[in-house]
Amino acid sequence: MTTTYPWEPGTATGIGSYPGDDPAEALRTVLGETPELPHLPELPARGPGADLTGRTAGLLVDMPIHLEPSGWRFSDRPGRDTLRSRDHLARDLDVLEEVAGGHDGPFKIQVCGPWTLAATIELRHGDRALKDPGAVRDLAASLAEGVAAHVADVRRRLPAAEILLQLDEPGLPAALAGTVPTASGFSRLRAVEEPVAQETLRTVIDAADAFTVVHCCAGNVPYTLLRGAGAKAISVDLRRVPKRDDDAVGEAIDAGTALFLGAVPATDAILPSLQATGEPVRELWRRFGFPVAQLARQVVITPACGMAGASPRYVREALKRCRDTARMIYEAAD
């Protein structure tokens, strides 16, 4: 089938997190190395509220959070931790408008998905929100409202850009498998049923009204569920795409779902040759027999995951390698 995508063939991008604490410097790196599809960097080194959970929890509507020794927990009223989360994001968006306000192509932002939030935020009495179906519904509704407002805010700041939303769901496979530990750690929470997981995720995707990518760097990515929830692209670590997933991956490609393939290590490493970097991408595509020209349109090359643990120098090298790999694949298919 013929599907159009917001990016040009032969495109690369990053996943989300970066080292350091200077949002302007990180954004300039992203714009310089992945200009075809830049994104808003996340800088967890700044501390609580800049991490994946805390950053997104600051978007929640009428569901404030605070930090306990065990992690994030819902509060009765907003406190300094909620305000810190919101301040970090507000500063990032001000920098975004200042540095990239004239960007006129696709631009990606990232938030934590509802199931990973539910698996990491505790209820007031200490159990994870994932344990309580009612709490999960409330969390998803709050997140949907907050994400919709966030996307609208970014659109105002980048009026010429097309906004892509990435939902980070590294915790979804564990929620589906029933392997998320309880607060005590002595047992596991009951598995979430796939139809429930799909509809909850759809609540957020529909509210955002943006081209949505779901990122899952864990194993056992639920491709069919993510497509059913409305994801238009699925972002995975290429090393975690086993042949047992071929049917689900092939169906996704055939349906026009884009793949963001993590082909470059996310932490400091000696990079293999350009050809060696691109070969696993081409090998995956060959397994399905789809036209080679379709590969450069439907696949975006990325690092394997977020790069908060890498050095700034390596980040630049890795992003450049992603871009060079995407361009090589496109030129070979042209």
Q: In the chain, which ranges are E strands? A: 65-68, 71-74, 106-112, 162-168, 211-215, 233-237, 258-264, 299-303
Distance CA 49, CA 24 (A): 18
Region 202-224: mean pLDDT is 95
Phi, psi of 235, deg, nearest 5: -110, 125
pLDDT per residue over 41-56, tens digit each? 999 999 999 999 999 9
Q: What sign does the CA torsion over 17, 268, 241, 5 have?
A: positive
pLDDT in tens, 71-86: 999 998 888 999 999 9
User: Can you list the alpha helix ranges (DSSP code H) found in 209-271?
Assistant: 223-228, 246-254
CA–CA distance, 314 with 324 (Å, rounded to integer): 15
Across the beta sheet with 233-237, the strand order is 106-112, 162-168, 211-215, 233-237, 258-264, 299-303
Domains of the chain with bracketed CATH: 23-333 (3.20.20.210)
| CA 88/CA 77 separation, integer angstroms | 19
- pTM of the full structure: 0.96
152 pLDDT band (50/70/90 cuts)? very high
